[in-house]
Amino acid sequence: MTLANIWFFLVALLLTIYVILDGFDLGAGVLYPFLGKTEEDKSVIRASIGPIWDGNEVWLLTGAGAIFAAFPMVYAMTFSGFYLAIMLVLFGLILRAVSLEFRHRDSSWSAVWDGAFFLGSLVPSLLVGVALGNVIRGVPMDAQGNYIGTFVELLNPYALLVGVTGLFLIIQHGAAWLAVKSEGELHGRALRYRRVTFWVCAALAVATSAATILTVSRASDNVFGRPAGWLFLAILVVGLLYAFWQMMREGGEFKSFVGSAVVIIGLAGIAAVGNFPDMVPARGTPEITSLTVERAASEHLTLLVMLILALIFVPLVLVYTALIYKTFWGKTKAGDADY
Amino acid sequence: MDAVMLARIQFAFTIGYHFIFVPISIGVGMMVVFAERRYYKSGVPADRAASNFWIKLFTATFAIGVATGITMEFAFGTNWANYSRFVGNIFGAPLAAEGLIAFFLESTFLGILLFGRKKVSKRFYYVSAWLVWIGSLLSALWILIANSWMQTPAGYKIEGGKAVLTSFWQAALNPSTAPRYFHTVAATIITGCFVAAGVCAYYMLKKRHLHFARTAMLWAVSVGLLVSLAMPLIGHWGALVVAEHQPVKMAAFENITETQKNAPLYLFGWVNGDGSTTGVSIPSGLSLMLGLDPEHEVTGLDSVAATDRPPAQLTFQSYHLMIALGGLFILVFGLALLMHFLKRLENARWMHWALIACIPLSLLAINLGWMAAEVGRQPWVVQGLMRTTDAVSPFVSAGEIWTTLGLFGLIYLVLFIAWIRIFLGIIKKGPEDTAEMLQAEKGIAPSPAGAGR
């Protein structure tokens, strides 16, 4: 196991934690206009993610930073190659970050901030998946690792399918979270949305799998040809069944949410195994210009220093993150937003 | 306009905008810690109200600082792909460390400050205030490490067309990291002190929340004076490092066209079309400052080819304006403190207005300082190693950057209007009036001396 491979695993881990944690608050944002019928419901939805969403988003910033440090060529290629898409994600994240705080302080613009919260949640939830779809499918690039395709090419059917699948994965995850945190009518609505979006997501995941097997055989061969691939497939199936079982049970909200997190681990693992040892495969010239783990990685000392930092600080972060979740455990009340 | 110029404009605009909110957050974060400490010790509701007030100002600003900070992390990849490939081995690590060590700390415990007053113990809450502030200082540290490496690269070798790390400590603690870190943090504290003093001055003008205003004003003005007095020393330390490691930048600061002894130090001036300077200067001042000797030889702009020199006027003016403003700040803080001891501050309307005016001026000064540092390094993006023109993303078109530049302009304008409304709204509403504070304002409870404790 080389350092570069360890960093491939760590980057995948950071991004998986990101999808699990920020996924539910992004999902809550997408569901906000649909579930938040009354002012009180809206207040509960915002307060349920209020203390934690910012920390959740830091997993993305740290993940992006880790890619920059450990795989500079991947960072440069994806961020500049997917320029407009990344910028739209960025604008979404900006609007969302500001809207949550400003909504509370600024009642006269509440409609503006509600809209910004919804759009700012929707756009990243969709586009991150589209970017992942393109990475799995492979993109045309030159020898230096520059994307040489067009913007429209990024909106191919496969990438869009992965994007929509990711969006629904995040929506059902957000609904699961709101079912955990809410009471009364809002709780009932969250459960109903969860059940519907869960099935939509499952159907889309099947479609994505079929599309991958049919059109991106490199990835599916990798998954089926490796023990790790089968492991994550098993995790996915277990997570799906558990999430479904608990979803149908009275009082199983939290366990079903955990099941949803397990599903995310399974899917992320499958994507990572399917891509390895490529970080970003080159479409058309895979042997020559693909950004493999080894080719894209930083040199030994950088990877080592980063690994030491990660081994010290990731556990520390997990401990105090758990502390914060514990502090705000339980059903969110409307008054919780009054700080 | 070509894509390189557009990318530079976009970076300058987004970083300058971001750097309005960061200094206010770090500075006001310090006021949060002070106020929360006071409440932790006293347990008095009025102190809690004061702390809550600073927390509101802090979080409203922090939110937009965080949001616009994401732009900066993404910008290296989106607009500066060649730069990212060239320095990724070294430059990426501090950015990742910033997330891991600083952002998590800040954002996690910010959740406690925002939502946890009724949920956690007083001590936990107080510690959270500290952790949020420490997080913001650590964030500044990592970003200053990254930026200082661009100024004075160290602990690296060039291998296969890119910079490769040879020593983490040498790269992190490169020659300019320490002076630039203290310089920047001191500047954010000065900004924070002016925000606090300006808010208090507004209440004194309006004769509202006087008990609160007296307490916070004394804090803000004392700390502000102390730090702005230290600033020339910290700045001098930085200047010595610049003179040693980036002599061309130093030459551009003072527009020293030819390498010379008895180099003058300008108080203010104008760079003429022919490259000469018209202005008021201290003869041999720069030589004295850098070498403690009028005969000390100062490297001039002529030591490098014309294409390796930074733009003269912009570098000169941003540097000198920053210093002039720094002098003004010492004067304003000093006078305000003096008037406090003479018991004249509370009724001196002109001083209230001066303190309020210093809020935007301190933000201007801190941004001018960054301009001097970054423009003075041109044409290099990494001093001596990579030119800014070579650093861009080769396949991002001018049209794409025009599009995003327009969107940034629009979104940032709306956010600025919203933030200003909210920030002023919080100030207008003021700290919650507890019964006890009202009493104090009627002059029943603490004496003016007690109020300033």
Q: How many domains does chain B have?
A: 1
Find chain A residues with C-beta within 8 A of B109's C-beta. Answer: 320, 324
State which residues form the domain around B68. Answer: 3-259+299-451
Backbone dihedral angles phi then psi of residue B382, each to the nearest 5 degrees: -115, 120
Contacts of A292 (CB under 8 A, 6+ apart): A277, A278, A279
Q: Cβ–Cβ of A90/B74 closer than 8 Å?
A: yes
Contact status, residue B98 vs residue B136, Cβ threshold 8 Å: no
Q: List B158's β-bridge partners, or say none.
A: B163
Token pair recorded at residue A273: 């195994």
Q: List A280's β-bridge partners, or say none.
A: A291
**Coil, strand or helix: which one is B127?**
helix
Is B403 at the interface with chain A, CB within 8 A? Answer: yes
Find chain B residues with C-beta within 8 A of A13's C-beta. Answer: none
Q: Which residue of A has its CA nearest to B81?
A: A76
| Omega of the bond leading into B175 within 30 degrees of 0 (cis) | no
The percentage of residues in chain B with a pLDDT greater than 90, rounded to a whole number, is: 89
A198: CATH:
1.20.1630.10
Amino acid B453: pLDDT: 33
Residue type, A136: I
pLDDT averaged over chain B? 92
Q: How confident is residue A288, by pLDDT bands cut at 50, 70 and 90?
A: confident
Q: Cβ–Cβ of B395/A47 closer than 8 Å?
A: no
State which residues form the domain around A16. Answer: 3-337
Find chain A residues with C-beta within 8 A of B100's C-beta. Answer: 62, 65, 309-310, 313-314, 317
Does residue B406 surpass a pLDDT of 80? Answer: yes
Does residue A119 surpass a pLDDT of 90? Answer: yes
Give residues 94 to 133 of A whose Cβ lies within 8 Å of B. Answer: 94-95, 97-98, 100-102, 105-106, 109
In a domain, B162, yes or no: yes
Least reliable range by pLDDT among A271-275, A333-337, B7-11: A333-337
Q: Cβ–Cβ of B88/A72 closer than 8 Å?
A: yes
Residue range B308-332, pLDDT digits in tens = 999 999 999 999 999 999 999 999 9
Give residues 273 to 302 of A whose Cβ lies within 8 Å of B. Answer: 298-299, 301-302
Find chain B residues with C-beta within 8 A of A80's C-beta. Answer: 77-79, 81, 393, 395-396
Token pair recorded at residue B72: 């900066």
Average pLDDT, stretch A193-215? 95
Q: Using the structure block, give the residue that is written with the tokens 């030994």.
A: A300
- Helix B177-206 and helix B3-42, axial crossing angle in degrees, nearest 10: 60
Q: Which residue of A has its CA nearest to B112?
A: A51
Taking the CA of residue B112 and the nearest CA in chain A, the distance in Å comes to 7
**Exposure string over B63-94, b if 16+ CB within 10 A, otherwise e:** bbbbbbbbbebbbbbbbbbbbbbbbbbbbbbb
Q: Using the structure block, give the residue that is written with the tokens 């404009």.
A: B9
Token pair recorded at residue B187: 């500047």
Taking the CA of residue B358 and the nearest CA in chain A, the distance in Å comes to 26
In a domain, B90, yes or no: yes
Token pair recorded at residue A315: 């556990």
Q: Cβ–Cβ of B99/A65 closer than 8 Å?
A: yes
Query: Which of A82, A110, A299, A319 to probe the B interface (max B CBs under 10 A)?
Result: A299
Q: How many domains does chain A have?
A: 1
Q: List B164's β-bridge partners, or say none.
A: B157
Torsion of CA B400, B405, B407, B410, to 10 degrees: -160
Find chain B residues with C-beta within 8 A of A94's C-beta. Answer: 67-68, 70-71, 411, 415
Query: Which of B103, B119, B164, B400 to probe the A interface (max A CBs under 10 A)?
Result: B103
Residue range B391-401, pLDDT digits in tens = 999 999 999 99
Q: Cβ–Cβ of B100/A310 closer than 8 Å?
A: yes
Residue range A130-154, pLDDT digits in tens = 999 999 999 999 988 899 988 899 9
Q: How confident is residue A186, by pLDDT bands cut at 50, 70 and 90?
A: very high
Q: Using the structure block, give the residue that is written with the tokens 């557009």.
A: B6
Residue range B326-366, pLDDT digits in tens = 999 999 999 999 999 999 999 999 999 999 999 999 999 99
Does residue B446 surpass a pLDDT of 70? Answer: no
Q: How confident is residue B440, by pLDDT bands cut at 50, 70 and 90?
A: low
ipTM: 0.92
The percentage of residues in chain A with a pLDDT greater than 70, rounded to a whole number, is: 99
CA atoms of B323 and B279, how far apart (whole Å): 15
Q: Cβ–Cβ of B395/A148 closer than 8 Å?
A: yes
DSSP one-letter string for B131-152: HHHHHHHHHHHHHHHHHHHHHS
Residue range A106-117, pLDDT digits in tens = 888 899 999 999
Query: Which of A17, A101, A329 to probe the B interface (max B CBs under 10 A)?
Result: A101
Give residues 354 to 393 of B whose Cβ lies within 8 Å of A. Answer: 393
pTM higher than 0.90, yes or no? yes
